[in-house]
Amino acid sequence: MPEFDARYEALRRRDAAMDGVVFVAVKTTGIYCRPVCPAKTPLARNVAFYRSAAAAEQAGFRPCLRCRPETAPFCPAWKGTRTTVERALALIEAGGLDRSSVDRLAERLGVGPRHLTRLFARHLDASPLQVALSLRVQRAKRLLDASDLPIAAVAERSGFSSVRRMSTAFAQLYGRPPSAFRKRSSERRFADR
């Protein structure tokens, strides 16, 4: 019961710290709200608390049209377009642009390629292709440093379509070929012995 009392008191105060942490369902109306909702505070006997909007909906409550609980902090809708960018980054990190195009990635996300590129520019100041290239170079550099794989195998495993493309990327970013990183890691291994 003390937990209920603390939550109800937060509801009465319209405590912003509880926004997105707890959802308030009103049994008499069948509606659930955020604790910061400007609607009149319901009586304690008519209130139930839920940890998520989904839990309140599963219990048969519908979202308030006034406070829009689906936009509470920590909900994907609250993050807005950042959610799309985060989903795209996860796909790119998993190799979504290694053998595919931005058009295909955008299609998987349910947006247009131009819109996806604009979202990346807004949130990351880089295009999806630039992000993918950066991730490929990082993967390749780790493989060069941690393994004795041939350069061609490193290029393939890190997502480059050819050794030439990997070499070009390294030359543009570091001003050195990938083999220069291999030599340094080889020298370090011999020094450790």
Tokens of 114: 């131009």
> pLDDT class for 78, splitting at 50, 70, 90?
low
Domain residues for the domain of 41 are 2-74
19: which DSSP letter?
B
Share of the chain above pLDDT 70, in %: 88
Reported as a pLDDT band with limits 50, 70 and 90, residue 189 is low
SS3 89: helix
Instruction: Let me know whether 46 and 58 are in one domain.
Output: yes
Residue 40's CATH number = 3.40.10.10
Q: Is a pLDDT exceeding 80 seen at residue 134?
A: yes
Structural domain tally of the chain?
3
Active site residues: 33, 37, 64, 67
Residue 77 confidence (pLDDT) above 90: no
- 6 and 70 together in one domain: yes
Ramachandran sector of residue 67 (left: φ over 0; alpha: ψ -120 to 50; beta: rest): alpha
Task: Using the predicted structure, report yes or no on whether residue 7 has a pLDDT greater than 70.
Answer: yes
* 82 and 57 assigned to the same domain: no
* Residue 99 belongs to some domain of the structure: yes
pTM: 0.58
| Residues 20 and 83 occupy one common structural domain | no
Task: Quickly state the pLDDT bin for 163 (edges 50, 70, 90).
Answer: very high
Give the residue among 42, 143, 81, 50 at the shortest CA–CA distance from 151: 143
- Give the model's pLDDT for residue 52: 85
Q: Domain for residue 14, yes or no?
A: yes
